[in-house]
Amino acid sequence: MLDIKQYTTNQKDVSMQKFKKQLAAAVSEAVCKTAGDNVCGADEICAMLEYPPDPTMGDIALPCFRFAKLLRKAPPAIAAALAEDATIKSVDGVGSVNVSGGYLNFRISDGYYEKNVIPEILEKGDGYGRSDIGKGKTVVLDYSSPNVAKPFHIGHLGTTVIGHSLKKLHEFCGYNCVGINHLGDWGTQFGKLIVAYRKWGSEKEVEKDGIDGLVALYVRFHEEADKDPSLNDLARAEFTKLEHHDPDNIKLWKWFIELSLAEYKKTYDQLGITFDSYNGESFYTDKMPEQVEKLRSMGLLKLDDGASVVDLSEYNMPVCLILKRDGSTLYPTRDIAAAVYRKRTYNFDKCIYVTSSQQSLHFAQWFKVVELMGYDWYDELVHVPYGTVSIDGVKLSTRHGNVVLLRDVFEAAIEKVTKVIDEKNPGLENKKETAEAVGVGAIVFYYLMNNRIKDISFRMDDALSFDGNTGPYVQYTYARTCSLLEKSGEIRGDRIKITSPYEAELAKELSRFSETVLRAVAEYEPSVITRYILAVSTAFNRFYHECPILSAEDEDVRNTRTALTKATNTVLHSALPLICLKTPEKI
């Protein structure tokens, strides 16, 4: 028989998880008593526990359908019997148990929040919600990765913020993380740019216009090449010269990258994003021959119309291109070489790639090639795809044709927020900084509210509302906790007494933080956190409107409410940066 104490006391985890584990152990014991030793383990039962869709039914539900076979009884009868089980009823935190059809619904006692949840958050502070499941493990994340000298448009929002969010989430769980910006800094587009720059560009202009100047040259090249295709040959020749380290071309190429990076970094700063490495595609130039040789010597390369490819028909995929007819390398070749380099350099346990789902086939193909090459870590490569983004409801700069630049979207959002602040809080200090944090945060929050794989259409007005389920709303909630705490006295963790259901609801949300983080990591899904932040904010605002906090007369009641405000502040302060949101203390 399972020893409940042993199972639960060596768990370091907290709050809701601890409660669920203890409950699961007790249910397991009850089931095993009748059906036989070890027929249904606590872990299995823990995974069955659900949150009832309607909270008036209870805080946690156990569906009993799976026990029907084991116990040879109908689920409602099983639920009724378990509801009477003394061990289950005596689990710390079980307030009441009731049966509804085949479900057993538990209400968590207020005492559980008073003794466990709230004091724990106060005590752990910034450490609350963290776990160490990643201790000793390394995760490499490849994200953002724009193509140099091409516009950084709204489509890049996904890879940039999902990637950074996954990095933050993994760090929160104790993983050692390496964020890589795999810049698209190599390829024939540089030949085109070099030709265009020498023909129509000037140093002064490009220096002044930065990436816009480069994009204009790139666009001009395509217009002219439509009329005069021989320009394409010139471009190829310049790229070949670059490949052979022609000093003039190398100098231009480096300059183009510098100008582009300067622009990207402005956007990254606004998002609070940094990278550990900017090794782009060009970095792997001298690392590809070894992999191409390996492919060749293993007999994996086939000639296909002059190109060298790996046949993947056995796996129902088109061929993976390794070398063009002229022997030059391709996107997959660089990815294969980069993966091997990263394995050797970082010895990752997982290497995550965040790109649009349009690249899913590309990743499936070269992951397969890595497997065929005999690298036994092929299954540590993870592609995290996301859907497309379109935008409507706002007039954005048409300077760039039909491409919507991320920069312009951010600017429009910041402008709107500035207007709101000017109206509502004209005396605010750090107005510029705050408007940027709220404006950019609004876009990111709106985007990360949806499951990543869904295609989304942006409505700027919805994103920027202070009332709806938005970034401004949750940031404002955080700021509200800050201003309350500024005026509050000392908080005592040993004098918590819950007296209102709104307090209990809020405590319940706060207790779910750590399991929510674990779920977001397991599913590579930042939206799990976004929705959690909304749930916490909603619970807090309800509590705020229903329960006087600083003006509560009873000292313990006031202390409890202030403690809940502090706990909310702690959770939001940790959670907002997990989805790239800043936490201004005043708005």
Which of 18, 21, 182, 531 is close enough to bind ligand ARG by CB under 6 A?
A: 182
Q: Which is nearer to ligand ARG, 357 or 538 (CB)?
A: 357
Question: How many Å apart are CA 318 and CA 383, to the nearest integer?
Answer: 18
Among the listed residues 275, 286, 330, 262, the one whose alpha carbon sits nearest the alpha carbon of residue 145: 275
Q: How far is the CB of 440 from ligand ARG (least distance, A)?
A: 21
Would you mind telling me the total number of residues written for the chain in this entry? Answer: 587
Q: How far is the CB of 565 from ligand ARG (least distance, A)?
A: 43
Q: How far is the CB of 359 from ligand ARG (least distance, A)?
A: 7
Under the binding rule (CB under 6 A), the answer on residue 184 touching ligand ARG is yes
What letter does residue 387 receive in the DSSP assignment? -
* DSSP conformation letters of 262-307: HHHHHHHHHHT---SB---GGGGGGGHHHHHHHHHHTT-EEEETTE
* Half-sphere exposure for 282 (CA within 13 Å, toward CB): 20
Under the binding rule (CB under 6 A), the answer on residue 278 touching ligand ARG is no
Which of 160, 291, 355, 537 is close enough to bind ligand ARG by CB under 6 A?
A: 355
Q: How far is the CB of 377 from ligand ARG (least distance, A)?
A: 16
Under the binding rule (CB under 6 A), the answer on residue 353 touching ligand ARG is yes
Region of 141-149, 204-212, 235-243, 519-527 interacting with ligand ARG (CB under 6 A): 141-149
Provide the mask over 494-523, with x wherever binding to ligand ARG is found by CB under 6 A and - wherever it is not.
------------------------------
Q: Which is nearer to ligand ARG, 144 or 541 (CB)?
A: 144
Provide the mask over 323-352, with x wherever binding to ligand ARG is found by CB under 6 A and - wherever it is not.
------------x-----------------
Q: Which is nearer to ligand ARG, 274 or 358 (CB)?
A: 358
Question: How many Å apart are CA 501 and CA 59, to the nearest integer?
Answer: 12
Which of 59, 85, 114, 142 is close enough to bind ligand ARG by CB under 6 A?
A: 142
Q: Which is nearer to ligand ARG, 47 or 361 (CB)?
A: 361
Which of 22, 105, 109, 145 is close enough to bind ligand ARG by CB under 6 A?
A: 145
* DSSP conformation letters of 499-567: -SHHHHHHHHHHHTHHHHHHHHHHHT-THHHHHHHHHHHHHHHHHHHHS-STT-SSHHHHHHHHHHHHH
Q: How far is the CB of 275 from ligand ARG (least distance, A)?
A: 13
Asked if residues 53 and 105 have their Cβ atoms less than 8 Å apart, the reply is: no
Provide the mask over 121-140, with x wherever binding to ligand ARG is found by CB under 6 A and - wherever it is not.
--------------------
* Beta strand pairing call for 381-386 and 350-356: parallel
Size of the site for ligand ARG (CB under 6 A): 9
Question: How many Å apart are CA 198 and CA 417, to the nearest integer?
Answer: 42
Ramachandran area for residue 144 (φ above 0: left; ψ -120 to 50: alpha; else beta): left
Q: How far is the CB of 356 from ligand ARG (least distance, A)?
A: 7
Asked if residues 551 and 476 have their Cβ atoms less than 8 Å apart, the reply is: no
Q: Which is nearer to ligand ARG, 355 or 511 (CB)?
A: 355
* Beta strand pairing call for 103-108 and 320-323: unpaired
Q: Which residues bind ligand ARG (CB under 6 A)?
A: 142, 145-147, 182, 184, 335, 353, 355
